[in-house]
Structure 1
Amino acid sequence: MTHTDWSDVRGRLARLAAHPGGDKVFGAHAHRWTLEPPLRAAEMAELEGQLRVELPEEYRSFLLAAGRGGAGPTYGLFPLRRADGRWAWEGDGADLTDRDTLHQPFPHTEPFNPADGLPEPPDEEDYDTVEAFNEAEDAYWERHDRLVYAPDHSIGLLYLCHLGCAMREALVVSGPARGQMWADDTADGSGFRPLRDADGTPLGFARWYRRWLDEAEAEADAAVA
């Protein structure tokens, strides 16, 4: 089921901003419980024209009814801004979104790790000199980074937030998992995985956002209990 009613969100954020425990919620210092203004219909049309794809409905409706970025999971939703006639998301890792390939399908439906199949890093004990080991190690990590951080892995992914330590979460815009939220954990060697609810159901944007909002309210209450 697609959820597109966001009429309660700004009121809940306002209550969190006024809550005595609101500033204790993780990430609140970054977004301050504030959403940027929603997109107008003409702006959405321009954005999707530039991207050559219609955004998944839950996120699309959020942009039109709630806001174009700001208060959200961890440090907040990357804001969508227009500069020099081009729309783009801004934030730590927002540049991982390749706007020119968002319309191309993200092919995965199950977790995958681009590092799978790589050999173990060189062991210094296998080399006669420090120089030979350093050369082998440099070559290994160059190969590793070229494979693991290849832009092809994130085709069809719209990065929406960061969790710190280069861990990020993204919305699948195109492909068989369209509308699902995925984690990009390549920074800790874990690869990519779909985010799931407690019952194992893949999280769409609305459940992902509302689950954070529920948890934020509980965290604020606990901070002053």
Structure 2
Amino acid sequence: MSAAGARVPARRRWERYEHASGLVGSPGTRRRGGGGRLSGPWPRTVGAGGPGPALQLTSLRRIDGTWGWVWDDDEDRPWLLDSSGPFVETEDWADRQTATLRAAGYEPTTRDEDDDYLDDYRKAFGDAGDEAWHLERGRGAIHISANGCVMTGWLIVVGPHSRELRDRACAVNPPFEPYVDARGNRHTFRTWYLEWLERRETATRWPRG
């Protein structure tokens, strides 16, 4: 970056980028029908990878004819966005599982304290039960970052909370917790990333002695 460019505040540089890439407007202005899927270049734009508020952002790559989100160059296990339905919040996840099981002709048993209805998925879908359960849990969202201490970051792409972020542990069935700012407001990708840029800018201008 040139010296002149470095003097332009991070927020102003981000706004210029938004105008240049067609990302201007509120999230609602860039939604289309079918559950609030995002149109335009948004998913590919935030999939460029590189540094960010977390350890590192994931990268969007074309793998065997399919777009997948890759962490740490591991193209053998990309996260594939399922935009067929909205992301399900933690408080609605158990109900979603029972609805899926009943649609498959299987009556759910007793909900497990930790894993909800994972065992029922195994009984209803056989060898595909674990994968079906995990993929349904992440439907409508993108694994966008690794946050350290076995925590991961997720960007909601489909549903009423599209563009918001969720924090999740690397475990079997942990909750998805909203990212919030210092005032308790939920972060979108824009506010989350811009907040980090401004902190980095301040640290560069006023390094600790």
Q: Quick check: 211-220 or 90-99, which moved more? A: 90-99
Q: Report how many residues are paired.
A: 152
Pair 1:73–1:189, CA change in 2 (3 A): same
Q: CA deviation at 1:185?
A: 2.1
Q: CA deviation at 1:81?
A: 1.9
Larger strand percent = 2
Larger radius of gyration between Structure 1 and Structure 2: 1
* 1:117 pairs with one of 106, 109, 113: 113
Structure 1 residues 2-58: Cα deviation after superposition (integer angstroms, max 9, x where no partner): xxx98615x9xxxxxxxxxxxxxxxxxxxxxxxxxx999xxxxxxxxxxxx84377x
Q: CA deviation at 1:164?
A: 2.4
Distance 1:116 1:216 in 2: 44
* 1:97 pairs with one of 44, 64, 79: 79
Q: CA deviation at 1:221?
A: 5.1
Structure 2: gaps spanning 5 or more residues:
1-9, 23-35, 98-110, 116-129
Q: Does 1:107 align with 2:88?
A: yes
Superposition RMSD on alpha carbons, in Å? Answer: 4.4
Q: CA deviation at 1:195?
A: 0.9
Instruction: Note if contact 1:159-1:171 (Cα within 8 Å) is conserved in structure 2.
Output: yes
What residue is the counterpart of 1:165 in the other structure? Answer: 149
Structure 1: gaps spanning 5 or more residues:
12-37, 41-52, 120-145
Instruction: Note if contact 1:157-1:174 (Cα within 8 Å) is conserved in structure 2.
Output: yes
Instruction: Note if contact 1:110-1:194 (Cα within 8 Å) is conserved in structure 2.
Output: no
Q: CA deviation at 1:222?
A: 6.0
- 1 or 2 for the larger relative contact order (CA 8 Å, sep ≥6)? 1
Pair 1:87–1:151, CA change in 2 (3 A): closer
Letter in 1 for 2:89: H
Structure 1 residues 97-153: Cα deviation after superposition (integer angstroms, max 9, x where no partner): 332x2332112176989998249xxxxxxxxxxxxxxxxxxxxxxxxxx69x83322
What residue is the counterpart of 2:199 in the other structure? Answer: 215
* 1:8 pairs with one of 9, 13, 37: 13
| TM-score, reference length from structure 1 | 0.51
Instruction: Note if contact 1:102-1:158 (Cα within 8 Å) is conserved in structure 2.
Output: no
Identity over aligned pairs, percent: 26
